[in-house]
Structure 1
């Protein structure tokens, strides 16, 4: 049994730890081959401020409203404690009003451990909703809500944006509309999020592109590269999306081959809880190889020399071992027919050695007890870099823009 714990960390470190716990509980996002830093760097660049455990857009308002309420009478640790209490009470309020789609704490209720403020804190700073680089206990006390009608005179007296829309009457004992943003809230949140940049050297993101569109993202789009008007996007964003797409396509083969190796070892040891896993992964790998070969010209012309500088903007300390593994796999994909990779002993050894290098005693390929508990899939879903979370949040905003309250 492993234990992840922290005593006194920054808000960013705490957010990363929450995401780590989420990833460890999701069999489709396990990082057995150690490419998570690259995946997360693309996610940060494409969707700044969005994380894998965010759910609905209105939490970007619930959190500051809650903390402003607590700041009326409290400061420091008491402020953070009072706000946490109200966040937990908010779970019951929203649940009672039928707002359960995307509700954080839907099952745990007031016993929820990971609060919305922990999940959204980095995003609130990214979008300049929270203007101070502080943890909750570092917020200052205020006497009243800083409503947007008050104007810039309050700009120096609150940690929160002075233009923050006011909470609805009765908040937080009642939450009119639940997760439904008003038109005013949507317009404000859209502007805050659309103007956020992922890095000083990269001024356009997929998040800002989606928010600047005239319509919400289509439900049929399942990846960032499905967006149908990327041709009109700035060149730097088109390049970013292209590299993210190619990395997702190419590295998917390594992840599937790893699962094939697990399946073969599983059957070799006589485990029977899963039906014919090796045959299933041979078929799935063949389907991936066909997709890869259909884009042979793109795969061959794609170079990691163009990728590493982008990744370094958010992950400057990629280990040499990770780079060597990724470069070795990409070279194999670029140099031979993808259908032959699963039978190539050198390629199989590359993947197997990488799993052991990354997981050591937790390597399923070398720890038969762990392999016996394998559920048949480990990190098999193609990388889409927080697309579904961003899609839901952006859709919330567009739905709010269409409401007749402005």
Structure 2
């Protein structure tokens, strides 16, 4: 199936259109109905650490620490700190909406009533990229802010005494007292009254360097350092693929094959449900997608594919890929290797899909629960896995534009 994602160029309207399509893609097509999320995320975290499918724009990686750094200087109580953080994130919506580029604004539709705040979306990535230095979860950071103030007071007294004695400053102790990277660029003078997504060159260089230092072996780091943004539907279709390291090429090859094979499992699941609902039009729609998949599947590669190597590359990389998941994947690959075009008429293969979904959903299985079947929207996980690539393209484009900005 051809990608529905257009490249994000320098035009704000084009970026907005792509992010809107991406949002629909995530909501309707990327659900993990067959329990493949651990494999998917293992690939994605190795390739693009610190990213997620709900990150929208790169400058949020600075908006969040700017907000918290300013609040820390006010020395608020823990209760006040959390309340003010919540308020300031909601207050940021309107300045971003007033900018010339509204694509990716958290709260674009909900305004100050948005349910998920950017800080919660970017918190993990900020830690992985080394911008956030506090090791705590966001809630714990809020709760322990008064402890942070006390620790810094003690540090000031310690350093004052050390200076009086002529002793050297304990760099590690000072570092432990930081919540945010010491070279975090200062916000613009008119921030947060005015805000947009355009990174300054200093800001872009800071983020690029954080990715380089914190994620040195990742494809994200290589792309940020060496490649211009590319118009490709998937990371393995990047025009610089031949320049990638052998490690990245191998990882992407396995990611591509996994995406391709398991796409047919997702389509088969949707066809089975559409048949149960007696929706002939929907059956035909999913069947057409399946037929297109069967006509283009790289069968020679799949038959030569080392499944043991797939697990060597994905297991024990921060995600628990269970034996049941591995067994399901292996069995589906074996069915595919025999006759991909005949999967839908293969009773054993269809039973594999049903039993997998029933094992995962239990009483909520759409094969068992009529109400759950009636509530099904008609499209579950029918998009090909591309491992956050649409989001990563947006972030890299923002970075590229900042690095090439004059000031």
TM-score between both structures, scaled by the size of structure 2: 0.82
Q: SS in structure 2 opposite 1:365?
A: coil
Deviation at 1:280, TM superposition (A): 2.4
Q: SS in structure 2 opposite 1:78?
A: helix
Distance 1:342 1:209 in 2: 41
Partner of residue 163 from structure 1, selected from 176, 180, 183: 183
Q: Number of residues paired by the alignment?
A: 358
Q: SS in structure 1 opposite 2:266?
A: helix
Deviation at 1:372, TM superposition (A): 2.7
Considering Cα pairs closer than 8 Å and 6+ residues apart, tell me whether 1 or 2 has the greater RCO. Answer: 2
TM-score between both structures, scaled by the size of structure 1: 0.83
Deviation at 1:253, TM superposition (A): 0.8
Structure-1 residue corresponding to 2:71: 70
Distance 2:321 2:25 in 1: 20
Farther-moved stretch of structure 1 (247-256 vs 227-236): 227-236
With over 3 angstroms needed to count, the CA separation of the structure-2 counterparts of 1:94 and 1:279, relative to structure 1, is closer
**Contact 1:127/1:196 (8 A) holds in 2:** yes
Q: How does 1:6-405 map to 2 (within 5 A)?
A: 26-75=27-76, 76-134=78-136, 135=138, 136-137=141-142, 138-139=144-145, 140-141=148-149, 155=175, 157-175=177-195, 178-197=196-215, 204-215=217-228, 217-218=229-230, 220-267=231-278, 276-292=281-297, 295-334=298-337, 336-405=338-407
Tell me the C-alpha RMSD between the 2 structures.
Answer: 2.3
Distance 1:240 1:91 in 2: 38
With over 3 angstroms needed to count, the CA separation of the structure-2 counterparts of 1:192 and 1:25, relative to structure 1, is closer
Distance 2:289 2:99 in 1: 44
Q: SS in structure 1 opposite 2:73?
A: coil
Deviation at 1:74, TM superposition (A): 2.3
Distance 2:369 2:177 in 1: 58
Deviation per CA, 1:92-130: give whole Å up to 9, x if none: 222233442111111222222211111101111111111
**Contact 1:55/1:392 (8 A) holds in 2:** yes
Deviation at 1:232, TM superposition (A): 1.6
Deviation at 1:213, TM superposition (A): 2.0
Farther-moved stretch of structure 1 (357-366 vs 377-386): 357-366
Structure number with higher helix proportion? 2
Deviation at 1:357, TM superposition (A): 1.0
